[in-house]
């Protein structure tokens, strides 16, 4: 497990270096327009979603750490294409490879953790690795910003460093040699027998990530005329809170069913959206305070969603279940920027109202399916 955690640290530092400057590299080094770079990245993400069924089948055939390593090695090739190619074609190919590696990684990583830990220990391990990755991403982004602040043409060097990080992380992951193991199916009390409804309910939840990364920066800077430092401060505060609270909060919530926690996440997120709506009239400080509530909702969601999918699925089918969940999350994240920014352009009230209603409805759906499953279980055991 230690080598695998080391792989996560190295990978996340590399990802933190890459993410803030990928578009900048496309524009300043490859000479692309912002619109061209955005379209290429979106198509790359869709390409990643398209290969998820193959990833799921590979996981269910027993692969675990090999799947994670492959996702990382694909990213290495993507960065290599960026470094050696020119123009839109190179960036499009690189975006597709990075998208494939990025979309495959979450399901593959969750499958590794599922093979190494069982039950609530697995939930805690998933939370711990999320905290590790957040810390690594933040550290990588900080390193990149410091390098750029020094001056000079450092983007190529940053990309090369990212490729090395992904390569080292892939080697560490592969060396752990984790494969599928026979394990007891620790059925979560209240887990619904079918995941289809939860995958639909997951779509509004997945949009929450774009609230922090896309909506709040636009709201603060363009509509509230706040300093650009406010969005950065919100992102840093969110990262610090996730690192500090993810593991203890998930452990404390283990007394409740995972579906209950997931439904509660929707209520907390819905309240935060209403808070953001009201906070616009007060000022950036109010938005920052409400951001703490939002972060708690995010922790509840990320700490219960994947864990519920694993607990609800027989071990032989966990790969397919995880990639379906990742497909749902990926679709929600892909649709969110355009949908949410379109609503914001019309009216902030429409944006926050729609987000609140959709998220609370999804929470209600999760809660009702849990209650139905409890009744079904009681009838079977009677």
Going by pLDDT thresholds of 50, 70 and 90, the confidence category of residue 151 is low
DSSP code of 282? T
pLDDT surpasses 50 at 85 = yes
pTM, to two decimals: 0.76
DSSP states along 153-215: S-HHHHHHHHHHHHHHHHHHHHHT--B-------PPTT--S-SHHHHHHHHHHHTHHHIIIII
Q: Is 63 helix (H, G, I), strand (E, B) or coil?
A: strand
Among 142, 175, 208, the domain boundary falls at 175
Cβ contact 200:296 at 8 Å: no
**pLDDT tens digits for range 176-200:** 876 765 444 454 444 444 777 888 9
Q: Note whether residue 183 is domain-resident.
A: no
Establish how many alpha carbons lie within 13 A of residue 150's alpha carbon, considering only the half-sphere containing its beta carbon: 10
> For residues 56 and 319, what is the distance between their CA atoms, to the nearest angstrom?
4
pLDDT of residue 146: 76
- Please, which residues have CB within 8 angstroms of residue 82's CB and are 6 or more apart in sequence? 25, 30, 90, 91, 94, 159
Specify if 188 maps to a domain: no
Q: Which domain holds residue 17?
A: 2-175
In a domain, 351, yes or no: yes
Q: What is the CATH number of the domain that holds 321?
A: 1.20.1250.20
Is residue 187, in this structure, part of any structural domain at all? no
pLDDT digits (tens, 9 = 90+) for 291-348: 999 999 999 998 888 888 888 788 788 888 888 898 898 888 878 878 888 898 889 9
Residue 2: how many other CB atoms lie within 10 Å = 8
At 202 the pLDDT is 94
Q: Are residues 222 and 371 in the same domain?
A: yes
Residues 165 and 301 in one domain: no
d(CA 314, CA 186): 9
Q: Domain check: are 119 and 224 in the same one?
A: no
Co-location of 208 and 352 in the same domain: yes
* Whether 370 and 238 share a structural domain: yes
What pLDDT does 35 receive?
A: 75
Question: In this structure, are 347 and 296 located in the same domain?
Answer: yes
Q: Which of 146, 175, 204 is the last residue before a domain boundary?
A: 175
pLDDT, one tens digit per residue, over 260-276 is: 999 999 999 999 999 99
Is 142 in the same domain as 244? no
Find out whether 69 and 3 touch, Cβ atoms under 8 Å: no
Both 13 and 84 in one domain: the answer is yes
- Indicate the pLDDT class of residue 370, thresholds 50, 70 and 90: low
Q: Quick check: 371 pLDDT over 60?
A: no
CA separation for the pair 247, 245 (Å, rounded): 6
Residue 311 covered by a domain: yes
Q: Judge if 89 and 138 occupy the same domain.
A: yes
Residue with the larger pLDDT of the pair 171 and 110: 171
- Report pLDDT digits (tens) over 3-54: 888 888 898 888 887 876 777 788 878 888 867 877 888 788 888 888 888 8
The whole-number pLDDT of residue 93 equals 92
| 269 in the same domain as 132 | no
* Within a domain: 185: no
117 plus 244 within the same structural domain: no
pLDDT confidence of residue 181: 54
Closest CA to 275 of 344, 336, 200, 355: 355
Domains in the chain, number? 2
- Looking at 143, 175, 207, the residue that finishes a domain is 175
With respect to residue 182, please indicate whether it lies within any of the assigned structural domains. Answer: no
- For residue 381, pLDDT beyond 50: no
State residue 378's pLDDT score.
38
Q: What is the pLDDT of residues 198-234, one digit of tens each?
A: 889 999 999 998 888 888 888 888 888 888 778 878 8
The reply to whether 145 and 257 lie within a common domain is: no
Residue 380: its pLDDT value, please? 31
Q: For 87-138, what is each residue's pLDDT tens digit?
A: 889 989 998 999 899 888 888 888 888 877 777 887 787 788 888 888 888 7
Whole-Å CA distances, 68 to 26, 103, 105, 364: 27, 11, 6, 34
Exposed / middle / buried, residue 38 (Cβ in 10 Å: 0-12, 13-18, 19+):
middle
* The residue to which tokens 């649709």 are assigned: 335
189 within domain boundaries: no
């Amino acid at each position: 497990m230690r080598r695998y955690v080391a792989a996560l640290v190295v990978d996340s530092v590399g990802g933190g270096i890459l993410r803030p400057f990928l578009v900048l590299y496309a524009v300043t080094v490859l000479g692309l327009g912002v619109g061209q770079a955005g379209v290429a990245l979106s198509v790359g993400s869709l390409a990643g979603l398209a290969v998820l069924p193959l990833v799921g089948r590979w996981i269910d055939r027993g692969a675990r750490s090999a799947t994670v390593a492959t996702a990382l090695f694909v990213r290495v090739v993507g960065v290599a294409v960026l470094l050696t190619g020119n123009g839109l074609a190179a960036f499009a190919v690189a975006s597709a490879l990075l998208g494939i590696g990025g979309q495959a990684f979450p399901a593959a990583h969750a499958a590794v953790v599922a093979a190494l830990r069982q039950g609530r220990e697995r939930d805690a391990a998933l939370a711990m690795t999320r905290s590790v990755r957040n810390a690594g991403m933040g550290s990588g982004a900080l390193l990149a910003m410091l390098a750029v602040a020094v001056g000079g043409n450092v983007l190529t060097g940053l990309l090369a460093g990212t490729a090395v990080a992904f390569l080292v992380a892939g080697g560490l992951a592969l060396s752990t040699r984790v494969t599928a193991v026979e394990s007891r199916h620790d059925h979560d009390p209240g887990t619904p027998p079918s995941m289809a409804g939860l995958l639909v309910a997951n779509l509004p939840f997945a949009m929450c990530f774009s609230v922090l990364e896309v909506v709040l920066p636009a709201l603060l800077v363009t509509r509230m005329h706040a300093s650009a430092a406010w969005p950065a401060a919100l992102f840093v505060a969110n990262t610090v809170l996730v690192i500090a609270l993810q593991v203890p909060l998930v452990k404390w919530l283990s007394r409740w069913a995972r579906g209950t926690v997931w439904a509660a996440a929707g209520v907390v997120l819905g309240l935060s959206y209403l808070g953001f709506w009201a906070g616009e009239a007060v000022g950036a400080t109010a938005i920052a305070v409400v951001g703490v509530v939002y972060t708690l909702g995010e922790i509840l969601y990320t700490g219960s969603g994947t864990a519920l999918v694993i607990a609800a699925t027989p071990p032989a089918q966990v790969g397919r279940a995880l990639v379906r969940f990742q497909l749902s999350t990926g679709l929600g994240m892909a649709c969110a920027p355009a949908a949410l920014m379109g609503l914001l352009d019309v009216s902030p009230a429409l944006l926050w109202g729609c987000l609140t209603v959709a998220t609370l409805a999804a929470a209600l759906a999760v809660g009702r399916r849990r209650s139905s499953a409890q009744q079904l279980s009681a009838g079977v055991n009677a």
